Amino acid sequence: MTTYVLAGGCFWCLDAIYRQLQGVTEVVSGYSGGYTDEPTYQQVTSGDTRHAEAVQVTFDEAVIPKEVVLNLFFLIHNPTTLNQQGADEGTQYRSVMLHADKTQEADFEAARQRAKSRWGNNIVTELTPLDAFYPAEDEHQDYFTKHPGNGYCSIVITPKIIKARAKYAQWFKEV
C-alpha cells in the first residue's frame, strides 16, 4: 500500500473524488504543513497555523497506478493560483504535495512536470517534506456523501467529479 498526503484547496473536493477510485482503501481529510500540533478546523481556517487542508490517500498500486492518483490531483484543482482555489482563499487552500521520503518527492516532481503540459510553467504547487498529518474532525470525513444537498457539494464538488470521471472513467468504481 502507498499513502500520499496531498492538498489542493478544500479537502472535501479531494476526499470526494479519491474515495470513488478503485484501489483506494482509505481517504482521511486533515491538516498538514503547519506549525501547530493537533490543530482544529477553526484554527486552520483562520490561516494562523499555516496548515493546508489535505487528504491522506492510501491505495494499492497493483490496482491503480501512482501516476493516475497524482495526475488526478492536478486535474481536479488549479495548481496555478497561489493560496486560492475558486472562492476559497488563504494558505490553508494552497496546492502542496507533502512527501514522506525521497521516492515520493521524485514521484511528486515527475507529476508536477507532467502537469505542465496542461497548466504551463505557472504551477505553484509546493513540494514539502511531510512532518505530521492531523485528521480533521469527524464532520469533515466523507463530507460529500454525508451532505449531497449542500450547495458547495453540488456547485463545486460535483463538477469536479464529472470532470475526473470523464478523463479517468476506467479507474472509478461502478456507481
Looking at the annotation, which residues are catalytic?
A: 10
Give the span between the Cα atoms of 4 and 97, in whole angstroms. 8
- Nearest 5°: phi and psi at 82? -75, 120
Give the span between the Cα atoms of 162 and 155, in whole angstroms. 12
164: helix, coil or strand? helix
H or E segment to which residue 58 belongs: strand 52-59
102 Cβ partners below 8 Å, 6+ apart? none
The sign of the torsion formed by the CA atoms of 138, 141, 142, 148 equals: positive
